[in-house]
Amino acid sequence: MGSAACYYLARRGRRVLGLERFGIPHSMGSSHGHTRIIRLAYYEHPSYVLLLKRAYELWREIQLTSGERLLHITGSVDAGPEDSWVFKGSWESCKLHDLPHEVVTGAELHRRHPGYRLPPTHLALVQPEGGFLTPEKCIVSYVTGAQAHGAEIHARERVLEWEPLEGGVRVRTDRGAYEAEKLIVTAGAWDGELLDVLDGLAVPERQVLAWLQPTRPERFRPGDFPVFNLLVDEGRFYGFPVFGVPGFKFGKYHHLEEVVDPETLDRETHDYDERLLRDFAERYFPDGCGPTMDLQTCMFTNTPDNHFVIDLHPDYEQVSFASPCSGHGYKFASVIGEIMADLAETGMTRHDISLFGLDRLRRPSRRRPSPAGGVDGRAREQNGRSQYFSRVPDVRPFW
């Protein structure tokens, strides 16, 4: 989201500085792992669908601009018992927004896509426009696009603190200090540390993904295997065809529900992580359950209601922020980058983000103890730096 915000502001002619704590790209946060699902059928809430339509447009646009293939269409499957919220929510979003779709049984899904072995009576919502994004390439495409429009991007520069000024902000890093008119924060698991209004509302969680070598690889190719979200007895799971790693990729939402500090996250994977995931694959994807090719950790950053937070700071309107995204945000990074550019420029956006306002979650605000004052409202510069700040890239540790 930060890399996209840098791009859209720079393309509009704004002077932009993007700051990233780690590398571009990197594997320390929530935007790595070769693939991220994108889907139009959205059981989380039907109001996401309009944002998704714009996200698809913007992904295709940056894909054309960069010359990299970023979006892969495979179709998507949302499945579970007939009365489950995953299936019913996806179906309702398709009907409400007139999205092309089919409803099939688990038995029919197996006939069409033999890699799936769901209970025969489960229902599956099949939507043809689902697929996956390649997150590392997406981030690099937005960063190089921003640079081509004049943005300055710094990697391996950790932000230590920010403070409001009259008419602007000051940001101090481990390499310098910068002043600007506006600040955008998309710090993912570090949001709660940088934004007091999100303290306790942006909760990082350890997540684990597995890649297993299929014993029938022809059943798990992108052309034969749609991405999925499944609600089964073992929990809610998501997965992908083989791509980037010689294995079928999947994970369990909220894995072991381990609340973590992003600075001390256990980044190792363990036998019990693998066993949990293999048990699921053995039951529902037995032809995908060969030798383990890889296991990786990442982070979700969850809100109490699992919806996003996209808003202006309630005390300092020159500061805007996006994320946490509760494990389902990457697909929106393109359109949220556009939204953050709008908020930085005008404080408003044409997109409907009413679902994501901070007020629905907010406790009484605790202002930072020593805000700076006495600075006039003119555009500020220090060391020749820029007018806007944005973290690069999406939902990954910046601060």
Active-site residue (options: 14, 26, 32, 206): 32
Active-site residue (options: 328, 331, 385, 391): 331
Three-state DSSP at 8 gives helix
Active-site residue (options: 21, 36, 39, 252): 36
**Taking phi first (over 0 means left), then psi (-120 to 50 degrees means alpha), and beta for anything else, what does residue 200 get?**
left
Following DSSP, what letter does each residue of 107-125 receive, concatenated?
Answer: HHHHHHSTT----TT-EEE
218 close to 177: Cβ distance less than 8 angstroms: no
Residue 163 pairs with which residues in a beta bridge? 170
Report the DSSP pairing between strands 388-391 and 16-19. parallel
The three-state DSSP-derived secondary structure of 235-260 is EEEEECCCECECCEEEEECCCCCEEC
Nearest to 327 by CA among 212, 194, 235: 235
* Burial category of 359 from C-beta neighbours within 10 Å (exposed 0-12, middle 13-18, buried 19 and up): exposed
Alpha-carbon gap, residue 130 to 80, rounded angstroms: 17
Is-catalytic flag, 105?
no
Q: Tokens 């990074």 appear where?
A: 333
Alpha-carbon gap, residue 127 to 261, rounded angstroms: 37
Angle at 376 between CA 373 and CA 381, to 5 degrees: 100
Radius of gyration of the chain (CA): 21
Active-site residue (options: 35, 186, 297, 301): 35
Alpha-carbon gap, residue 377 to 105, rounded angstroms: 62
Residue 298 pairs with which residues in a beta bridge? 207
24: its two tokens = 């571009």
Is-catalytic flag, 249?
yes
254: its two tokens = 């909220």
Active-site residue (options: 94, 289, 298, 325): 298
222, HSE (Cβ side, Cα atoms, 13 Å): 14
Is-catalytic flag, 170?
no
Is-catalytic flag, 137?
no
Is-catalytic flag, 278?
no
Alpha-carbon gap, residue 103 to 118, rounded angstroms: 14
Q: Which residues are catalytic?
A: 32, 35-36, 249, 254, 298, 331
